[in-house]
Amino acid sequence: MKRRRFLSHAVKSASATVCSHLVPPAFRASFFPQTPAPKTSSNNSARPQLALTLDDPTLTLGSILRWQEANSRILKAVSEKGVRAALFVCGMRVDEADGAKLLSAWDQAGHLICNHSYSHKFYGEQTSYADFAVDFLKNEKVIAPYHNRTALFRYPFLKEGDTADKRDRFRALLKERGYRVGHVTIDASDWYVSQHYTDRLSKQPKAPITPYRAYLIAHLLDRAAFYRQLALDVLGRDIRHTILMHFNPLNAFVLPEVMTAFEAAGWQWIDASLAFEDPVFRSEPKSLPAGESLIWALAKETGRFEGRLRYPGEDDVYEKPKMDALGL
């Protein structure tokens, strides 16, 4: 879950070009068999739209709360908004009998069960293509039993390869296996805020949640506004967004308020399957190192937004001074 930092010297623009791979129509039709095709594939709604994508469900949440409680709280918050999310499953966190119970609850509620690799490897210079591929394939077995298993892959840490060769070889493997990338458009550091909250509780068990909730909501709304504007500037239209959040204690407690805050700010929650129908999710940015938010990568590829792009797009280093200043 936790991001690893990269030095800025690792940011290099890509000059390599590769053939674009066309997606056959039959492949597209087989993607979301339970979902009727939407009438429009991009967001023509007056309100900006986003879907919840939740990464790294786990049986181990520390001493704060048990996985069963976290699971039922999160599922309830999502179902109260009447939408279906996408759950990106990292096998090593759920590969036992209780893990199957956790995933079944999501599957039965109609959420997409997607692949987030087995071991959450960082696809940079420390991980070869072969090791990364084996780890992805290993996780297919973890999600295979579920009715709503969906062929979307999310790269751990949103890192899609440090060289053109590794990037393109893995993209080719995904296609061969019938997958698309489960891109994040609104990236954020919710994991870091939750980590601070649980650290605080371990020292001060009665510490109020309120300031952490307020920080998290402000952070997520700020990141959503940033990536929405960047998408408008890069693509000239409002896309259907996917926000990255995690299965963690803070989110388990405050997800209802988070979702309501987005509505109050003008956003509309939509099904993840509908969001991923937006044509933007078919793009394959050539930036290197590859990855980050899809919008970040598309902006990087143009070379026209350097002043607005930091690397990584989101990380603890950006939030730490602000949280420290607030005593969080």
Kindly list the residues in this chain that would bind Zn ion in the complex (CB under 5 A): 55-56
Q: How many other CB atoms are there within 10 angstroms of residue 1's CB atom? A: 18
- Give the shortest CB-315-to-Zn ion separation in angstroms: 14
47 token code pair = 């309100």
- Give the shortest CB-150-to-Zn ion separation in angstroms: 17
Q: How many other CB atoms are there within 10 angstroms of residue 173's CB atom? A: 16
**161 vs 14: CA distance, rounded Å:** 12
- The H or E element that residue 53 is part of is strand 49-55
- Give the shortest CB-5-to-Zn ion separation in angstroms: 16
Q: Which is nearer to Zn ion, 157 or 212 (CB)?
A: 157
- Give the shortest CB-322-to-Zn ion separation in angstroms: 23
Q: Which is nearer to Zn ion, 56 or 160 (CB)?
A: 56
250 token code pair = 């803070």
- Give the shortest CB-124-to-Zn ion separation in angstroms: 15
Q: Which is nearer to Zn ion, 55 or 135 (CB)?
A: 55
User: CA-CA distances (angstroms) from residue 156 to 10, 124, 125, 182?
Assistant: 18, 11, 14, 11
DSSP 153: E
Q: Which is nearer to Zn ion, 56 or 238 (CB)?
A: 56
Q: Which is nearer to Zn ion, 158 or 270 (CB)?
A: 158
Q: Strand, helix or coil at 150?
A: strand
CA-closest candidate to residue 153, choices 31, 303, 297, 325? 31
